[in-house]
Chains A and B, each alone.
Chain A
């Protein structure tokens, strides 16, 4: 009815708008290929190509090496599985590096479940002051720099750590937990139990009260109702928490590096060791074995999830109980006493390391307080030589890399969220391809970038190389954007399709509708994603340590690792600096948005 000839300018703008999403998708694809798939492929090629010929020799050697695969290597080497199995159940079994890594990952998973599920029960079923705060805080370990946490654990469990200090005051101890499997497991639980709690709480809260009431009215006891109605809705979440814990702890690096020592080295630590020894082919092969195992577990979980996930959205949730028992009957008291005991353990595992870090950064070895450790940082800054790690460049580099990684990963994450939440054929594939970096360890990305783009691209007769700084930004962006997707995509998913269609019918192009309608609605998720990305980038260690070795591009986590080699004091001081910078950045970004959804 209102046909007016659009001006040329408008037509150009329109056609740009129309293609913006496609351009965004193209740009994202190019970046993903350059920053992730090409480097990782480089690693893969390196492990199967020896002197120009394709061979599986490196893999086969690896599989048959008892050093890596323990007794299992004998099966790969052709021995009878029955014989090997018999030996395996005898007392002097050998696990090898891969076996040990699996073993500690399973134990870490069990411990994380043991510590995470009571937390989920507490958060989902009880009402108390600070419940929401604690629920929000469960995200925190996830974004805390692992090297900092490792330092916190050293400060807690070390020979002169706060634990032994407290035990000493009580006339007990000292206990030696350092360089023990226990320390690693507790540190892993510190990271992963809150994750387990988070996903399980979400599932528990989505259980419809009327389903339980129906079960009860049909004659089920409270326990039967829990077993038959609640539990089946929790299994997928528990399993997801468990699977993710396994994958994360299987690829563990900074924690084991700092807490384990060489006798407890995991696959990832060995990959790092092999790279230090310039044995790239074996490092690549080992990294790929690790990747295959991780992806296998993730795939098995996704298969399970596809079959079992039950979602009852918009349900009336179960009413929460008060922590104060209404009566003093055994039935009311037992779970609450259990939770109280759990609370003490949780305080020890989750709060002690952070407090110890803060305490040890100002504690003098002789007792009392000192600023000597911070003074050390300042001295190092003013008098340190060029090849020494100095604090200010570390802070500056961390902030710069974080800002740059944010600038890359945020648009990428948003574009991928748009692409994976619209319905079309092949969407799942894009989802998997885009999420793969989550399962690939930073070490692999680090080597790949180092051996690929940093070494150089062949482009015709040109050789394009990128600098170490660019490679670090790329590695950080790759590590960050899946978290942006995880926080933004649920928002897109939740937007009613008819909102978008209304905008389209009113004349908005796809891109305009994205800008006018969708982005404002998912904005809290975008902000949360940005906060995540920032924290992840600031704490990133695995790929940075590889790419920053021998350069001036070191970040705060790398600086901590350098300091920890000497004395704990400066490392804790640097850890506190990292904690403060990360927290401030996190809070600033978080203030820009409202509440968030998603992981």
Chain B
């Protein structure tokens, strides 16, 4: 078993770290001990997740982490090797996709090329009556309006731009009034600007309909921007499940700290621990450089332990009076609003953000509460 296995068993509390808004909402979808094995690989490894009604839940991770397989298990396109999938308490593990009341949107739009936009959106209404007792035509018109494509019924899919096609795909998935909307990297094929616009629109639609949504992406920025809660996946299982702010500010593991946003991760030796109420302070060493860190909550750290902490680039400043050190500018990328500077310090690269150009030797530092301890190693 990986060293992180112990991490996982430690985090049921985190699995329940629901945004306040959804704490009382009933569970819409749950995975219980779900695994998916292929001939030689384990794509999904003993996953336990709960998604609440109306929640926008995102699975994010690098390619091969099992996020898409997890979505396909929820959709019923794949059968789990082990475990149970429940929709609102009902076991749907063996149920065919067509009987699950789901809507699915794929990365490549997957519009039926031989049907018009209207026929595409209406397709699901062959198998379910439109919600609210309205006619199919009305339902199609309503949904096209919802995705800002009113009056496009008679167009062929190939007459539409990528962004428009994806919105048709969303309208099509929503038409039969599914209980759960599943989106598999729906924006990956679009260019950056369009992606941001559609992101806002998807979030808006989801809010308006209050539909439980599971979203898969490899783009951590997108995950943070759009979600109520995010599961960061690695090697077939979530490493941390939490609202975006928590994922960003308090990554539970080194992997999450590295994967989400720009970050600087340090391994350090603990010299001294001052326990206080609420927060503790630790004096640690990275090489011979001492750092003072603030640790939230209690800690079991003892002098002589090692720990891992991270500091976001924006927490470094040249005005800081604590935790200062001097490095040499290795590279500077001008990004417009800010400049991303890489400092070479003690053989490692430190990333930070500045507004003015830097070169040569630079002294920077960070406040003790600008650091976050991610992983107290217990070897």
A512 to B126, CA, bound (A): 10
Considering the complex, which residues of chain B in the window 118-144 have a beta carbon less than 8 Å from any beta carbon of chain A? 123-124, 126-131
Whether B129 and A1, one on each chain, are in contact in the complex, defined by CB atoms closer than 8 angstroms, is: no
- Does A499 reach chain B (CB closer than 8 Å)? yes
Q: In the complex, what's the smallest C-beta–C-beta distance from B69 to chain A, in angstroms?
A: 13
Whether B129 and A505, one on each chain, are in contact in the complex, defined by CB atoms closer than 8 angstroms, is: no
Considering the complex, which residues of chain B in the window 83-106 have a beta carbon less than 8 Å from any beta carbon of chain A? 96-104, 106
Considering the complex, which residues of chain A in the window 469-527 have a beta carbon less than 8 Å from any beta carbon of chain B? 496, 498-499, 501-509, 512, 516-517, 520-521
A517 to B131, CA, bound (A): 24
List B contacts of A517 (CB < 8 A): 112
A317 to B112, CA, bound (A): 27
- Does A2 reach chain B (CB closer than 8 Å)? yes
A535 to B104, CA, bound (A): 43
Whether B96 and A504, one on each chain, are in contact in the complex, defined by CB atoms closer than 8 angstroms, is: yes
Whether B129 and A499, one on each chain, are in contact in the complex, defined by CB atoms closer than 8 angstroms, is: no
- Of B176-184, B192-200, B246-254, B274-282, which stretch is located at the interface? B176-184
Q: Which of A1, A2, A505, A521 contacts B98 (CB 8 A)?
A: A505
Q: Which of B106, B114, B131 contacts A502 (CB 8 A)?
A: B106
A313 to B264, CA, bound (A): 42
Whether B127 and A505, one on each chain, are in contact in the complex, defined by CB atoms closer than 8 angstroms, is: no
Q: Which of B101, B110, B123, B126 contacts A1 (CB 8 A)?
A: B101
List B contacts of A509 (CB < 8 A): 96, 98
Whether A505 and B114, one on each chain, are in contact in the complex, defined by CB atoms closer than 8 angstroms, is: no
A4 to B103, CA, bound (A): 18
* List of 7 A-B pairs having minimum Cβ-Cβ separation, nearest first: A507-B127, A506-B124, A498-B110, A505-B104, A498-B106, A504-B97, A1-B177
Whether B97 and A1, one on each chain, are in contact in the complex, defined by CB atoms closer than 8 angstroms, is: no
Known: A501-B75, A507-B124. 4 other contacts (CB 8 A): A1-B131, A1-B177, A1-B179, A499-B112
B300-331 contact mask (Cβ, 8 Å, vs A): 1 or 0: 00000000000000000000000000000000
A92 to B75, CA, bound (A): 73
Q: In the complex, what's the smallest C-beta–C-beta distance from A32 to chain B, in angstroms?
A: 28
Whether A503 and B177, one on each chain, are in contact in the complex, defined by CB atoms closer than 8 angstroms, is: no
Considering the complex, which residues of chain B in the window 43-90 have a beta carbon less than 8 Å from any beta carbon of chain A? 75-77
Q: In the complex, what's the smallest C-beta–C-beta distance from A381 to chain B, in angstroms?
A: 47
- Residues on B lying within 8 angstroms of A by beta carbon are 75-77, 96-104, 106-108, 110, 112-114, 123-124, 126-131, 169, 172-173, 175-179, 182
List A contacts of B128 (CB < 8 A): 2, 507
Query: Chain A interface secondary structure, helix, strand, loop or mixed?
Result: helix
Q: In the complex, what's the smallest C-beta–C-beta distance from B100 to chain A, in angstroms?
A: 8
Give the size of the chain A interface in residues (CB under 8 angstroms): 20
- Residues on A lying within 8 angstroms of B by beta carbon are 1-2, 4, 496, 498-499, 501-509, 512, 516-517, 520-521
List B contacts of A499 (CB < 8 A): 110, 112
Given contacts A1-B131, A521-B113, contact A502 B104 (CB under 8 A): yes
A331 to B312, CA, bound (A): 64
Q: List 7 A-B contacts (CB under 8 A).
A: A502-B112, A504-B76, A504-B98, A507-B124, A507-B126, A509-B98, A516-B123
List B contacts of A508 (CB < 8 A): 98, 123, 126-127
Whether B110 and A496, one on each chain, are in contact in the complex, defined by CB atoms closer than 8 angstroms, is: yes
Residue of chain B at shortest CB distance from A513: B98
List A contacts of B113 (CB < 8 A): 521
Residue of chain B at shortest CB distance from A499: B110
List A contacts of B178 (CB < 8 A): 1, 505
Q: In the complex, what's the smallest C-beta–C-beta distance from B83 to chain A, in angstroms?
A: 21
Whether A498 and B108, one on each chain, are in contact in the complex, defined by CB atoms closer than 8 angstroms, is: yes
Whether B129 and A2, one on each chain, are in contact in the complex, defined by CB atoms closer than 8 angstroms, is: yes
A246 to B177, CA, bound (A): 59
Q: In the complex, what's the smallest C-beta–C-beta distance from A449 to chain B, in angstroms?
A: 40
Whether B177 and A505, one on each chain, are in contact in the complex, defined by CB atoms closer than 8 angstroms, is: no
Q: In the complex, what's the smallest C-beta–C-beta distance from B132 to chain A, in angstroms?
A: 9
List B contacts of A521 (CB < 8 A): 113-114
List A contacts of B127 (CB < 8 A): 506-508, 512
List B contacts of A502 (CB < 8 A): 104, 106, 110, 112, 169, 172-173
A517 to B172, CA, bound (A): 15
Whether A501 and B101, one on each chain, are in contact in the complex, defined by CB atoms closer than 8 angstroms, is: no
A508 to B128, CA, bound (A): 10
Residue of chain B at shortest CB distance from A425: B39
List B contacts of A4 (CB < 8 A): 129
Whether B108 and A503, one on each chain, are in contact in the complex, defined by CB atoms closer than 8 angstroms, is: no
Name the residue in B77, B97, B104, B124 with the highest tally of chain A Cβ atoms < 10 Å from its Cβ: B97
Q: In the complex, what's the smallest C-beta–C-beta distance from A25 to chain B, in angstroms?
A: 18
Whether B126 and A501, one on each chain, are in contact in the complex, defined by CB atoms closer than 8 angstroms, is: no
Q: Which of B99, B110, B124, B129 contacts A501 (CB 8 A)?
A: B110
Whether A505 and B108, one on each chain, are in contact in the complex, defined by CB atoms closer than 8 angstroms, is: no
Given contacts A1-B101, A1-B131, A501-B75, contact A506 B106 (CB under 8 A): no
Whether A501 and B176, one on each chain, are in contact in the complex, defined by CB atoms closer than 8 angstroms, is: no
A294 to B16, CA, bound (A): 65
Q: In the complex, what's the smallest C-beta–C-beta distance from B276 to chain A, in angstroms?
A: 52
Residue of chain B at shortest CB distance from A3: B101
Residue of chain B at shortest CB distance from A495: B113
Whether A505 and B126, one on each chain, are in contact in the complex, defined by CB atoms closer than 8 angstroms, is: no
A393 to B311, CA, bound (A): 91
A2 to B131, CA, bound (A): 6
Q: Which of B75, B107, B131 contacts A505 (CB 8 A)?
A: B75
A512 to B128, CA, bound (A): 14
List A contacts of B114 (CB < 8 A): 520-521
Q: In the complex, what's the smallest C-beta–C-beta distance from B273 to chain A, in angstroms?
A: 53
Q: Which of A503, A505, A520 contacts B103 (CB 8 A)?
A: A505
A504 to B172, CA, bound (A): 12
Residue of chain A at shortest CB distance from B175: A506
A516 to B114, CA, bound (A): 10
Q: In the complex, what's the smallest C-beta–C-beta distance from B42 to chain A, in angstroms?
A: 18
A501 to B100, CA, bound (A): 13
Whether A501 and B104, one on each chain, are in contact in the complex, defined by CB atoms closer than 8 angstroms, is: yes
Residue of chain B at shortest CB distance from A18: B96
Q: In the complex, what's the smallest C-beta–C-beta distance from B148 to chain A, in angstroms?
A: 21
Residue of chain A at shortest CB distance from B133: A2
A506 to B125, CA, bound (A): 8
Whether B96 and A506, one on each chain, are in contact in the complex, defined by CB atoms closer than 8 angstroms, is: no
Q: In the complex, what's the smallest C-beta–C-beta distance from B351 to chain A, in angstroms?
A: 36
Residue of chain A at shortest CB distance from B104: A505
Whether A505 and B112, one on each chain, are in contact in the complex, defined by CB atoms closer than 8 angstroms, is: no
Q: In the complex, what's the smallest C-beta–C-beta distance from A3 to chain B, in angstroms?
A: 8
Given contacts A1-B101, A496-B108, contact A504 B77 (CB under 8 A): yes
A261 to B77, CA, bound (A): 60
Whether B176 and A506, one on each chain, are in contact in the complex, defined by CB atoms closer than 8 angstroms, is: yes
Q: Which of A496, A507, A512 contacts B176 (CB 8 A)?
A: A507
Q: In the complex, what's the smallest C-beta–C-beta distance from B293 to chain A, in angstroms?
A: 47
List B contacts of A504 (CB < 8 A): 76-77, 96-98
List A contacts of B108 (CB < 8 A): 496, 498
Q: In the complex, what's the smallest C-beta–C-beta distance from A569 to chain B, in angstroms?
A: 51
Residue of chain A at shortest CB distance from B123: A506
Residue of chain A at shortest CB distance from B178: A1
List B contacts of A1 (CB < 8 A): 101, 131, 177-179
List B contacts of A520 (CB < 8 A): 114
A507 to B179, CA, bound (A): 13
A503 to B106, CA, bound (A): 12
A501 to B172, CA, bound (A): 13
A307 to B124, CA, bound (A): 43
Whether A506 and B110, one on each chain, are in contact in the complex, defined by CB atoms closer than 8 angstroms, is: no
Residue of chain A at shortest CB distance from B113: A521
Q: In the complex, what's the smallest C-beta–C-beta distance from A519 to chain B, in angstroms?
A: 10
List B contacts of A503 (CB < 8 A): 112, 123
Whether B173 and A506, one on each chain, are in contact in the complex, defined by CB atoms closer than 8 angstroms, is: yes
